[in-house]
Amino acid sequence: MPPGPRGFPLLGNALHIPAINPWLTFMEWGKQYGSDIIHLTAPGARIIVVNSIDVAVDLFDKRSTVYSDRPYLPMLCELVGLANWNIGFMSYGDHWRNIRRMFHRYLGPQEAKMLRPTTIRHTNNLLNKLLSQPEKFLDHVRTVPGEMILEVAYGIKVTGADDPWLRLAEEGNDSAIAAATPGRFLVDLLPFLKWVPAWVPGAGFKRLAMEWRQLNTDMYTLPYEMLEGSATSSVAQTMLSNVDVTDVPEYDEYLMKVRDSTRFITICTNNVNSCSSIIAVLKTFFLAMVIYPDAQELAHKELDSVLQGERLPDFHDMLSLPYTMALVKEVQRWHPVLPLGVARRTTQDDVYGDYLIPKGSMVLPNVWAMSRDTKDYPDDPDSFNPARFLGASGQLDPSVRDPDYAFGFGRRICAGRHMASDSIWIMMASILATFKISRRKEDVGVSLERYTSAFIV
Ligand code: HEM
């Protein structure tokens, strides 16, 4: 087995794994044991943590048939029921494969480009909100990605911060993040607890699970019902209209016949689920701009010289704005929003180098450790420094590791990454082109870093 701290009988390392920011401890253990791959145990679970990109690529990319399953967390998968319809938590197999293929068809690289006008419209909406109520910037950052993704997925036009669709999406997302945070619920460590009746004192998790199950069911049934007879263009509507196309594969026809198919709904609701990651990236961006005003200033200068104060940035400006692009990359590297990625599970025993990785192990990519690797980022990886991505000429240096590992690896790499990358670039570039972000007077000298320690921080 890979090295790791010695565990206690029965409990294993359960008491060693910190509840707060475990990725930091996993990274330290990697250094202490001199290994990019470490091994821990918890009751009923064997955990493998991958602390380097090279090992992640070897396992998740090159041995993807063994490492593409997801672990079974009773709270998330069974009690809340997310593994039934959320592709991100679904077991690896034909059902997942079919949905994944469709995801690619509607959100692949070319399809994501078609969504750019919508992204720009929502970005402009964000700018207007920031202009009229700058003090509520966190509310705007929280709502705009949800508005955008609800429109893309279902054609739903949100009417304001209290819009019921937006609230449903937010509450659904929050519950999914909470249920997906490993170690948050005892039932994930002691699965027999799932049989405890909801009325038993201490079984609050069961009542919570029932509430979240309903919320998540609403999330995939209600918007779908609204689509009936709607002419608004959206991923969902496009899929429905494809029914008449003669060359669509049999699978699509089946899908259209089974109107309430979870397969169909999965695509759209997952889009909505995923906006939490975009929100988290934007919050980190605001934080970095306050803490590192020099970086912000350099981006302002670059944007001013290209745009001449006459227009907002557009996607065709990407290549002319290397510093801004480097800043967007650095936001993703400096504080990865999914510090432990999304866990995998091995479907068979595997031998990697000298190590045995048994079937059924939970394998965690420690994205945080990867972002701090001094081989890739020799210059103080804890500090925010967009220039690390630039060469002497001021252009992007292709030899510097791109932080795209924040989107995962192999067959289960983020299915919405093209759209997500576009959205965060245009939003950050547009905000920088129009605003100066600085600390409130009353916050001078106060630490502003308040990250949660969850699945998505
Ligand atoms: C900056 C924003 C985002 C980040 C950092 C992010 C990151 C991730 C990561 C780390 C995974 C797990 C990959 C793995 O297991 O290796 C993932 C999965 C996924 N993401 Fe994203 N994501 C973002 C935005 C989005 C958006 C906007 C969408 C949809 C439009 C999306 C759709 C998905 C889906 C469907 C999966 C599950 C893939 C599977 O299990 O097969 N993501 N994402």
pLDDT tens, position by position, 84-119: 777 888 899 988 888 788 778 878 899 899 989 999
Q: Measuring from atom 21 of ligand 1, which residue has the nearest CA?
A: 414
**pLDDT at residue number 262:** 41
Residue 14, domain member (yes or no) = no
Q: Measuring from atom 22 of ligand 1, which residue has the nearest CA?
A: 414
Residue 269 has pLDDT above 80, yes or no: no
Distance CA 256, CA 252 (A): 6
Does any ligand 1 atom lie closer than 6 A to the CB of residue 456? Answer: no
- Mean per-residue pLDDT, 239-254: 50
CB proximity list for 6: less than 8 A, separation 6 or greater: none
Q: Measuring from atom 20 of ligand 1, which residue has the nearest CA?
A: 414
pLDDT tens digits, 169-198 = 788 878 888 888 877 888 887 888 999 999
Find the domain containing 252 and state its range.
Answer: 22-443
Distance CA 253, CA 231 (A): 20
Report CA(362)–ligand 1 centroid distance (Å): 19
Residue 305, domain member (yes or no) = yes
CA 440 to chain CA centroid, Å, is 29
Q: Which two tokens stand for residue 325?
A: 């692009």
Residue 11, domain member (yes or no) = no
- Mean per-residue pLDDT, 325-345: 96
CA 130 to chain CA centroid, Å, is 24
The amino acid that residue 371 corresponds to is S
State how many domains the chain has.
Answer: 1
Q: Which atom of ligand 1 is nearest to the CA of 408?
A: 16
Return the CATH number at 216: 1.10.630.10
**pLDDT at residue number 177:** 82
Percent of the chain residues topping a pLDDT of 90:
57
Q: Is 393 exposed, middle or buried (0-12, 13-18, 19+ CB in 10 A)?
A: exposed
- Indicate the top mutation candidate among 106, 417, 456 to test ligand 1's pocket, ranked by most ligand atoms within 8 A of CB: 417
- Mean per-residue pLDDT, 63-70: 97
**pLDDT at residue number 68:** 98
Residue 288, domain member (yes or no) = yes
Within 10 Å of residue 48's Cβ, how many Cβ atoms?
Answer: 26
Q: Which atom of ligand 1 is nearest to the CA of 344?
A: 15
CB proximity list for 424: less than 8 A, separation 6 or greater: 278, 281, 282, 285, 328, 331, 332
Residue from 340, 406, 337, 414 nearest 38 by CA? 340
Distance CA 51, CA 65 (A): 21
Is residue 112 within 8 Å of 419, Cβ to Cβ?
Answer: yes
**Number of helices (H), then strands (E), in the chain:** 18, 6
Q: Measuring from atom 19 of ligand 1, which residue has the nearest CA?
A: 414
Is residue 346 within 8 Å of 361, Cβ to Cβ?
Answer: yes
Report CA(273)–ligand 1 centroid distance (Å): 9
Q: Measuring from atom 1 of ligand 1, which residue has the nearest CA?
A: 278
Is residue 297 within 8 Å of 289, Cβ to Cβ?
Answer: no
Is residue 84 within 8 Å of 262, Cβ to Cβ?
Answer: yes
pLDDT tens digits, 369-388 = 999 999 999 999 999 999 99
> What is the per-residue DSSP string for 339-392?
TT-S-EE-SS-EEETTEEE-TT-EEEE-HHHHHT-TTT--S-TTS--GGGGB-T
Tell me what the pLDDT averaged over the chain comes to.
87
DSSP state of 427: H
Residue 452, domain member (yes or no) = no
Report CA(229)–ligand 1 centroid distance (Å): 30
Report CA(415)–ligand 1 centroid distance (Å): 5
Does any ligand 1 atom lie closer than 6 A to the CB of residue 57? Answer: no
pLDDT tens digits, 129-160 = 999 999 999 889 988 888 888 887 777 888 77
Residue 454, domain member (yes or no) = no
Residue labelled with tokens 């420094």: 385
Residue 451, domain member (yes or no) = no
Residue 52, domain member (yes or no) = yes
Strand 45-50 relative to strand 362-365: parallel, antiparallel, unpaired?
A: parallel
